[in-house]
Amino acid sequence: MRQLVGLLLAGGIVLLPAFSQGHGTVFAQAAPQKTTFTGEMVVWAFAVNADKTADYEQVVAKLKDALSKSERPEAKQQLAGWKVMKNAAPQPDGSVLYIHVISPVVPDADYSIVNIVYEVFKEPAEQQAFYDAYRGSLKAALFLVQGSVTHDFSK
């Protein structure tokens, strides 16, 4: 029992500095994790809270703006191949489904929505507002499918 209490106390001491700072500061200090995809095409689905679709639409608009303004050459390729679709009917739980379709995938490009926006919009208050809107609007990331096209009926 003493070992457990000691372990919990030590863990609390280690984590205390992280929780004593604002969430934005902790998030900003974390090393950004790159999101890359394999194959030619990606289908990425998110469930958005029904009362937060306007916030998610702003997130998508900010993402498009960031890709447009980015100085990275691959950002223009990402922009050209990234489409977002909103499902016409709500899900059984009331959430709204947004599907990101990316084709073609840019090899080794970072598709992290947060990283893309933060790369261009560097003001901490703007980043925090974006992050709050993004996290607040999402109910869940549902699925990610990535791979190669096996049949292209247009050809």
Which residue, among 93, 104, 90, has the nearest Cα to 42 in the 3D structure?
Answer: 104
The length of the chain is 155
**Dihedral angle sign, alpha carbons of residues 129, 131, 134, 139:** negative
57/138 Cα distance (integer angstroms): 11
| Structure confidence at residue 6 (pLDDT) | 40
What pTM was computed for the model? 0.79
104/130 Cα distance (integer angstroms): 27
Query: Which regions in the chain score pLDDT beneath 50?
Result: 1-27
| Structure confidence at residue 30 (pLDDT) | 63
Provide CATH code, domain 32-147.
3.30.70
